[in-house]
Chains A and B, each alone.
Chain A
Amino acid sequence: MSRSITAEEVSQIPQSGGTNYINAEQGVWSWLTTVDHKRIALMYLVSTLIAFLMGGFFALLLRFELLHPGKDLLDAKGYNQAFTLHGAVMVFLFVIPSTPAVLGNFLLPIMLGAKDVAFPKLNLLSLYLYWTGALFTLSSLVTSGLDTGWTFYVPFSTAVSDTSVIAVTFGVFILGFSSILTGLNFIVTVHKLRAPGITWYRLPLFCWGIYATSLVQVLATPVLAITLLLLIFEKVAQIGIFNPKLGGDPVLYQHFFWFYSHPAVYIMILPGMAIISDVIAVHSHRRIFGYKAIAFSSVAIALIGFLVWGHHMFTSGQSELASAIFSFLTFFVAIPSGIKVFNWTSTMWRGSIAWNTPMFYGMSFLFLFTIGGLTGLFLGTLNVDLHLHDTYFVVAHFHYVMMGGSVIAFLAGLFHWWPKMTGRMYNDSLGKLSCVIVFIGFNMTFFTQFFLGSRGMPRRYYTYLDQFQPLHAFSTYGSWVLGLGLILGLVTLLASLKSGARAPSNPWGAKSLEWETQSPPITENFKRTPLVTHGPYDYDTTEDK
């Protein structure tokens, strides 16, 4: 493999089989006290995948209940609890931390040529906060559950629900701190720990995406913290800020909540976009098209994303003028996403595309995210939203963005960097098969829901009119296919740990810095601080195009 890019000394790293970050120290204690960003990333990976399985279990439960009208497995109360835990676990314990805390943690310092993140101990603290928050959140499973939906809307959560609202909101409050500290750590890392020669425009686009995500994490999450604190005080001390009986305002809660939670949607999708930029460029062996456009569109999404929260409240009684402005801004924030999609597509033009598993997932992302993004515009249109709001159309839309976008991108990234993280190659055919099954299952499950929603099926009901039964059943069968595909993907990865071939340092012929060090990397990432003299996507300038 040609190594035209690195300084001599960087390529003199011993090949796989020797010491690396995984076997550098032994024992559970060495993991629990580590400050190595790569080990912390692996612990996040295991934790978030457990959360993903748990959230997935609830999802299958929900779909099973919806196979027929009336009660199959869960009654109304059980169904409310299941969709609430599905949402809360998926959003707060899986999607938000998945890409930044797993892949970001692992890759950001290596891509920058650094030995670690700026504040390694803070990084470990973030992980412990994540675990603590997860404990509080999941404690609801063994106490009285939770039935408010993941949005904890008042006055239901404060005055009606008798479930473990306080424990879960306190858990999410703590998870927020974990998220803030990770974001803060990454921002400082990108500013202060770039190796010599890595200018801002030589950052892999993954770093730009993670950087933009971190900005949102730092700026939005504190607002969620104060909102949840007010909610907790409402329950324990009748503080009344959100209670209309005392003069408070429940709509204020929605404003506060979505001021965080809409940007949080970008916390979930920006890292996915970050991954796709790298995956598509590497597997197309092509210089990324429109580097600066992709980089700045990430920052633009992060900033404009703060101004669109009102589109969650078109029917909550906000003024028509406010709704019109939020509708305009919602269309506006779609532009940078569109820029990205066009640039990714253009990158593949005349590339020599290697159809590896990550590229399969990358293509899945392009299709699914585009559908998710475009249906978002339906919902951002005021009069159409009156018909579609709180229907399965919304459910389908955000699953296309959150799962078809973020989760599929996370899988693309996981398959892309798995050889680097673990030092093992997985079975590529099985990986591709898993992607195809996931793609089919996903569309069966969720494309159906666009029809359900546009025909008036409301979300969050455990039963429905008979006329919806065929579509609901089809969606449920799709969820089984989807589950099978995901399990196959997971098995493919796990099997590689046992029987996979040893990964070379650069299996994809990529040009960015993380592929210059051995797989898996040593604890310090590089023997010496690398000197970088080229961009991360300089494919056209070398002989191995």
Chain B
Amino acid sequence: MSSATALSAEQAPSGERSPDFHVGHHWDSADSQFEAGRMGVWLFLVTEILFFGGLFCAFFVFRSWYFDSFVEAHSHLDWHMGAVNTVVLIFSSLTMALAVRSAQTNNKARTVQMLVVTLVCAAIFLVVKYFEYSHKIHDGLLPGGLFHATGFVTDHPQMFFSVYFMMTGVHGLHVVIGMGLMLWILIRANRGEFSQRYYAPVEGVGLYWHLVDLVWIYLFPLLYLVG
């Protein structure tokens, strides 16, 4: 992420006036437009962190109240599947970063390849998630009032699954949206729209994808490992 930023500063035609290349009429140069776009994406990511922040807050409240239930309930999650998904997502962050890098170096074929790989990783993540969810649903390990699994010795396992389904569900929705965004830049990349002079959308989607990855990196240990 930061290497891509440094690189863009080197390679973008800084200082001198850039030709009219995707520059809105209200910008004095492509550079200032690019910087503004990047700032906008970062601000958007801040709102995402606060959005997830509410759920993390709920997690910590209920974990401190119903510690025993959380410990008991979390053992019903399959940490192997979670681990696989973690590896898949981290790998997809790498390929996303490489896609941005390739766009910056005018390597269209590589950009497309890397975006396809990232998309496939996102799909794998969702497939694994599907198996996890259907297993939970089958066992009645459902949130709140829908919970009907038996054999629990503590009182509030349903609260763990409320938090689990909300957090992973909202995260999964972000993965789906991310796939849509990647498809959009994949089509544009395939048309040859990106180059070292214009790659802002690729970088923006990349930053978003890294955030989706980052959220999961917190979700996995909290939900699957420490409970």
Report the nearest B residue to A226, measured CB to CB.
B54
Q: Is the CB of B66 within 8 A of A241?
A: no
In the complex, how many angstroms separate the beta carbon of B109 from the nearest chain A beta carbon?
30
Q: Is the CB of B54 within 8 A of A119?
A: no
Contact flags (1/0) for A108-132 with B, using CB distance below 8 Å? Answer: 0100001110111010000000000
Q: Is the CB of B143 within 8 A of A238?
A: yes
Q: Is the CB of A223 within 8 A of B40?
A: no
Q: Is the CB of A120 within 8 A of B24?
A: yes
In the complex, whether A227 has a CB less than 8 A from a CB of chain B is: yes
Contact flags (1/0) for B156-170 with A, using CB distance below 8 Å? Answer: 101100110110001
Q: Is the CB of A247 within 8 A of B143?
A: no
Q: Is the CB of B143 within 8 A of A240?
A: yes
Q: Is the CB of B144 within 8 A of A237?
A: yes
Q: Is the CB of A239 within 8 A of B43?
A: no
**CB interface residues, B 21-40, toward A, < 8 Å:** 24-26, 28, 32, 35-37, 39-40
Contact-residue bracket for chain B: 35 or more
Report the nearest B residue to A233, measured CB to CB.
B166
Instruction: Give Cα A234–Cα B61 distance, bound, in whole angstroms.
Output: 17
Instruction: Give Cα A213–Cα B51 distance, bound, in whole angstroms.
Output: 19
Within 8 Å CB of B144, what residues of A? 234, 237-241, 243, 246, 248
25 of the cross-chain contacts (CB-CB < 8 Å) are A116-B25, A119-B36, A119-B37, A188-B36, A188-B40, A188-B43, A219-B50, A223-B50, A226-B55, A226-B170, A230-B54, A238-B143, A239-B162, A239-B165, A240-B143, A240-B145, A241-B159, A241-B162, A243-B144, A243-B145, A246-B162, A247-B156, A247-B158, A248-B144, A256-B54
8 shortest interchain CB distances as A-B pairs: A240-B144, A238-B145, A226-B54, A115-B26, A222-B51, A222-B50, A247-B156, A116-B26
Q: Is the CB of B66 within 8 A of A247?
A: yes
Q: Is the CB of A237 within 8 A of B44?
A: no
Within 8 Å CB of B55, what residues of A? 226
**CB interface residues, A 168-202, toward B, < 8 Å:** 180, 184-185, 187-188, 191-193
In the complex, whether B58 has a CB less than 8 A from a CB of chain A is: yes
Q: Is the interface of A mostly helix, strand, loop or mixed?
A: helix
Within 8 Å CB of B62, what residues of A? 241, 247-248
If the complex has contacts A222-B50, A223-B54, A524-B25, are A240 and B162 also in contact, measured as CB distance less than 8 A?
yes
Contact flags (1/0) for B39-55 with A, using CB distance below 8 Å? Answer: 11001101110111111
In the complex, whether A274 has a CB less than 8 A from a CB of chain B is: no
Q: Is the CB of B162 within 8 A of A218?
A: no
Q: Is the CB of B39 within 8 A of A192?
A: yes
Candidates B25, B40, B143, B159; contact of A119 at CB < 8 Å: B40
In the complex, whether B16 has a CB less than 8 A from a CB of chain A is: no
